[in-house]
A = this chain, B = another copy of it.
Amino acid sequence: MRTYNFSAGPSMLPTDVLEEAQRDLLNFAGTGMSVTEISHRNKAFEEIVNEGEGLLRELLHVPDDYLVIFVQGGASQQFAAVPLNLMHKGRADYLVTGNFAKKAYEEGKIYGDACCVASSQDKTYSYIPDLATVPFREDTDYVHICANNTIFGTRYTQFPKTKAPLVADMSSDILSREIDVNQFGVIYAGAQKNLAPAGVTLVIAKRSLAHDPLPACPTMLKWNVQDENKSLYNTPPCFPIYIATLVLRRLKRLGGIKAVNEINEYKAGILYDFIDDSSFYRNDVVKKDRSIMNVPFVTPSAELDAKFVKEAAQAGLVSLKGHRLVGGMRASIYNAMPVEGVRALVDFMKKFERENQ
């Protein structure tokens, strides 16, 4: 039996995508080989990469003057790649709204004058700072944000208007909602939440910003080199790219990102409405900044939280334990989580409340 898997990442993939991958695992596209065995220079694989890039451009309306590449190393590697590709003046502003936003900021400091211009650490990252009052500095190379904060369950509903190019880590909400790529200089995302198995990272960047990496930048981290080689500078992570392409096909079939976003708002609404109506469960995030991907919540006590996580798993609702920095529970409800999974969770929450009040 397939469980409902609320893991924050790696996380659920659509069952039909996994079934297709399973069926073809020893014989991809009639080649008599696994997609994990064929050369990345094989035409059948090049078509997969090109299709994946094309679907990303189509679904996210990526302008032609932006590169779209598949790379390795996760968002954590982009924390270094961002300054190594962009930091020509040696100055960048960071908004620290969570654990990964902070890690990006710490990595930025290795390469130059990275400045934390706003933070919500004072209240356990339970809100997004007021963008109107952020003291952005003059003459910086970029402003860095994390669009959705997986651990704390917040997200930007508006993005800051900045003079310097805006760089966004969208690992936990890429393809979950419509965005205007033109607002951003660079978008990057580890794929293991909304797009693919772990091991591939998406970078979308304005080519005019990405053309001149710093001399110390490792070749593999140079966005322009990866772009010039159409993500095939060296052997890419073929299996995750293949699955990403299957997932992107599915998102297109569902009606594109507008339709996907509507489903996501609907799913999150079911859960937040129930929590807000309950006197037993609580979500501590400022309402306007609530994530529709990651929903942290608590019961009245840490003991009941632990009991909840255990009994939910027995009922087939797994990986609900909150991050150690927050405690309690967290339901990650990415694109691949069906509405039925959220309904099953709410049903279980009702039952647990009745039994433990």
Interface centre among A2, A218, A219, A220 (most CB of B within 10 A): A218
Contact with B along A103-121 (1 / 0, CB 8 A): 0000100110000000000
Chain B residues lying within 8 Å of A236, measured Cβ to Cβ, are 198-199
Binds B, one of A7-15, A250-258, A340-348, A349-357: A7-15
Residues of chain B with a CB closer than 8 A to A12's CB:
33, 37
Chain A residues 6-53 with CB under 8 Å of chain B are: 7-13, 15, 18-19, 21-22, 25-27, 31-34, 36-40, 42
CB-defined contacts of A42 to chain B, threshold 8 Å = 7, 319
Asked whether A263 is an interface residue with its Cβ less than 8 Å from the other chain, the reply is no
**How many angstroms between the C-alpha atoms of A333 and B1 in the bound complex?**
40
A219 smallest CB distance to B (angstroms): 6
Say yes or no for A76: interface residue by CB 8 A criterion: yes
Cβ–Cβ contact A3 & B15, under 8 A: no
CB pair A199–B5 under 8 Å, yes or no, is no
Q: Does B218 contact A77, Cβ atoms closer than 8 Å? A: yes
Contacting pair A220 B73 (CB below 8 A): yes
- With A80-B218, A219-B80 as contacts: A5 and B33 at CB distance below 8 Å: yes
How many copies altogether? Answer: 2
Write the chain B residue with the least CB distance to A233: B76
A227-285: which have CB < 8 Å to B? 233-240, 243
> Contacts A32-B316, A216-B216 given: A238-B197 contact, CB under 8 Å?
yes
* From B5, B22, B73, B218, contact of A22 by CB (8 A): B22
A184 within 8 A of B: no
Check A9 against B235 for contact (C-beta < 8 Å). yes
Q: List residues of chain A with CB under 8 Å of any chain B CB.
A: 1-3, 5, 7-13, 15, 18-19, 21-22, 25-27, 31-34, 36-40, 42, 72-77, 79-81, 84, 107, 110-111, 190, 192, 197-200, 215-216, 218-221, 233-240, 243, 316, 318-319
